[in-house]
Every structure is written in C-alpha cells, then in structure tokens.
Structure 1
Amino acid sequence: MESNCCAPDTPGQDAMACLASGTRGKGVPLITLKALLTPSALARLTPEETFRLCPDPTCDVVYFSPSQTYGTEDLKVPVFQKNQASEVPVCYCFDHTRSDLERAAVTGTGQALEASIRAHVQAGRCGCEVNNPQGSCCLGNVVTVLRRLARQEQA
C-alpha cells in the first residue's frame, strides 16, 4: 500500500501525524522496516525517509513518512496495535501472545511472566528493533495488557 495519504500537503500540517487517521506517530528505526516489510514492500522503501508508526487500531496504515505509507498487508507479522486477535504477539522476541497473557492473568502467573521478560531484556537478549513492528521494547505493552487483565479479573 503506497500512497501519499500521510504526507503533509498543506503548510503547517503536522508531519508527525498520520493523515489517514490523524494520530500522532512514534518514530521507528529504519532497521525495523528493513526487517519486517515483505519483499515487495521493501523494494519500494525510500531509506532516506523518516518513518513513524501509526498506533491507531482502526487505521490500516502501519508506517508513514512524508512520501510513503505501508499498511498491515506490507508486513511479515501481525501488528499488536492493529490486530486484536488472541494469537497476535504482545512480546515479539519471546513469543508471548495475547492468549498467553490472558492465561497468565487467569492462573496468577502474570508477574512471573513479566519478570521473565524483564530478565531477558536486562540480559541483552531482546531484539525488539527487528522483531517488534513498533521498533522499540514491547515490555510496556506486556505490562499494560497484564494490568488491564488483572483489573478485569478483580471486577
């Protein structure tokens, strides 16, 4: 999916916001795109561009720059922020899905799972920049999901 939908076309337009959704995007390292784009999408990549992730779950755009966009179909992996399926990874490096986190919340092992991921990160084992479509550590996503699930269990 290549278009100019996220390119600022009027002076003063926020270049950090996805024009498809208006959501502000977070910068993503180029290595993330190189690792996760499909071969046909990678062949269109303009590496001089600065790309951002559109986190809006209702927007098909995953990455945008002033002149290019890439959608969910352009990635090799499902995107946590875009796909609510239970088998979508929350932790891409150590393969913990939403269903794994749900199981951990139900069985009371959520803190142990979080501690395990934290230990791997501290040991330098994560590769979020090449595994996670957001291009940064997924531990924050894991913690957020586990806390939300814990609140649901208490309700």
Structure 2
Amino acid sequence: MTLKALLTPAALATLDPKAEHRFCPEAGCQTVYFSSTRAYGQADVKVAVYQKDIRATTHVCYCFGSTRADLKRSHREGQAALLPQVIRAHIQAGRCGCKVNNPQGSCCLGNVNRALKALREAHQP
C-alpha cells in the first residue's frame, strides 16, 4: 500500500505487486525501497524521505505536516514536549494515515521522538 501511494507514476509502472518490498532507513544509502529483483531510490518517491533528506523542509511527521524546521523551532521555544502529545492525540482519534503518507509505512512518532531527543542532547551543556 505504501509503495503504491508514494512511488512516482513511472516507478509505479515497474512495481511487481506480488514481490515483498522493504524500506531502507539508512541515511547513506540511496535506496528507499527494495525487493529481491528491484530497488527504488529517492527519485522514484513522490516525497522527500526523512531518513535520507536532511533539509529543514523535510517532513518528520507526514500525516500532520511537521518538518525538521518545526521540530527545531518547537525545541528552541521550549515547546518540544507538545508536538508528540498532539500527534498522539491525532493517532488516538484515528486520524493517522502513516501507511499511505510516511515512506517507511509505519507511525512517525518514533522518528519525531528520536529527532527531539537528538536536539535536546545536542544542546546540553
């Protein structure tokens, strides 16, 4: 479902829907999705992939639109704890669409929490 939602039309035309595809979370790897016979890179995906794209405009939370810049701003303003709470409330309300919005095909809350933790650790004395 994730690949069908996020691959570009040209890449989708090459998809073998019966093949088992995996997501590659490694930052240094150009591959986003792969199977035993095919690999898809960032150019084959409609959105920037958080794990592979360090730009401030890249989403960390794809469902509710939080970018790296948003996380930095919330951290700087002392509001970092609020963002995961808001995302959790949306999840509990049944609004999460990670399978079709997030390239990794699973909930982004872990990515948000890890990114905020990294910001806290980077700014500790």
In which range does the TM-score fall when normalised by the shorter chain? over 0.9
Q: What's the secondary structure of 2:14's corresponding residue?
A: coil
Which letter does structure 1 place at the counterpart of 2:114?
T
1:5-154 alignment runs, 5 A limit = 31-154=1-124
- State the Cα distance separating 1:150 from its structure 2 match: 1.5
- State the Cα distance separating 1:58 from its structure 2 match: 1.1
Which letter does structure 2 place at the counterpart of 1:52?
R
Q: What's the secondary structure of 2:60's corresponding residue?
A: strand
Q: Equivalents in 2 of 1:57, 1:144: separation in Å?
A: 15
Q: What's the secondary structure of 1:40's corresponding residue?
A: helix
- State the Cα distance separating 1:153 from its structure 2 match: 2.5
Equivalent pairs, count: 125
Q: What's the secondary structure of 1:154's corresponding residue?
A: coil
Deviations along 1:15-45, one digit per CA (max 9) or x if unpaired, are xxxxxxxxxxxxxxxx000000000000000
Which letter does structure 1 place at the counterpart of 2:88?
R
- Return 5+ residue gaps in structure 1 as ranges: 1-30
- Assess if the C-alpha contact under 8 Å between 1:106 and 1:153 holds in 2: no
Which letter does structure 2 place at the counterpart of 1:88?
T
Higher Rg of the two aligned structures: 1
- State the Cα distance separating 1:50 from its structure 2 match: 0.5
- Return 5+ residue gaps in structure 2 as ranges: none
- State the Cα distance separating 1:144 from its structure 2 match: 0.4
- State the Cα distance separating 1:105 from its structure 2 match: 0.5
Task: Give the TM-score of the pair, scaled to structure 2.
Answer: 0.98
Which letter does structure 2 place at the counterpart of 1:140?
G
Task: Give the TM-score of the pair, scaled to structure 1.
Answer: 0.79
Q: Equivalents in 1 of 2:51, 2:118: separation in Å?
A: 15
Moved over 4 A (4+): none
Q: Equivalents in 1 of 2:24, 2:122: separation in Å?
A: 27
- State the Cα distance separating 1:82 from its structure 2 match: 0.5
